[in-house]
Amino acid sequence: MGEFFELLLGNMYCWFKSFYSDFLSQYLWGYNPASGAYDLELRYNSIGLYTLVISFVIMALYYYVIDHPRFCKWWSWLIMALLNSVIALFVGYYCVLSDYNAGIIPDELMYLRDENGEVVQTLISIPSECWSFGISNMIMAFIFFLVFSFLFHWWSRVAKYSPFIKF
C-alpha cells in the first residue's frame, strides 16, 4: 500500500508522458544510470507536492478568501483554475531547468555518447522539454484544482455552487 501511494503521483504524471521524453521521465522517477536503480530523488513526488499545495491554496483562496458574489460564477472559477495552471506551468518548467543548471540530471540521461565520449544525440532537450513538462504539470494542476474544488466547495458562503450546478 505504501508503494502505491509513493508511486501514485508519478503514475498520474505518466498519463501525460508523451509531452516529454522517456529520458526526462526516468530522471523524474529517480532513475540513476550509475547504479541502475531508482535511488535518486523521486522528483515526480516533490514537484507533484508543490503543485498539490499551490492548487489547494488557490482553491482555498477562491472559495474561502475571495468568496465574493461578483466573483462566484463558472467563469470566475475558470479564471482561478487557469491561474493555477499557469503557475504550475512555470513551477514545472523551473524545477526541471534548475535541476539541469545544477548538474543534477545524470549525463547518461542527457546525452548519448559514442565510444570516444563524444555526444551523438541529445536525449533531453533543454529548455524545450522543461516547457513540455511544464505543460503536463499544468494539466495535472487543473486536475488537482478540480478535485479539490469538488471536495472542499461545500463550506463556501457564496462561491460554493461554482462551477457546479446549483441543486
> How many other CB atoms sit within 10 Å of the CB of residue 128?
11
Closer Cβ to another protein, 50 or 99, answer by number = 99
Closer Cβ to another protein, 67 or 108, answer by number = 108
- Site of interaction with another protein (CB under 8 A): 7, 22-23, 26, 31, 33-34, 36-38, 108-109, 112-113, 115-117, 123
CB of 156 to another protein, least distance (A): 41
- Kindly write down the DSSP assignment for every residue of 43-65, as one continuous string: HHHHHHHHHHHHHHHHHHIIIII
Q: Pull the grid cell for residue 148.
A: 479539490
Q: Pull the grid cell for residue 18.
A: 508523451
What is the C-alpha separation between 82 and 77, in angstroms, rounded? Answer: 9
- Whether residue 33 is preceded by a cis peptide bond, meaning omega within 30 degrees of 0, is no
DSSP character at residue 37: B
What is the C-alpha separation between 153 and 64, in angstroms, rounded? Answer: 9
CB of 115 to another protein, least distance (A): 5
CB of 55 to another protein, least distance (A): 27
Closer Cβ to another protein, 34 or 151, answer by number = 34
CB of 23 to another protein, least distance (A): 7
CB of 100 to another protein, least distance (A): 17
Identify the helix (H) or strand (E) that includes residue 74.
Answer: helix 74-101
Q: What is the CA radius of gyration of the chain?
A: 19
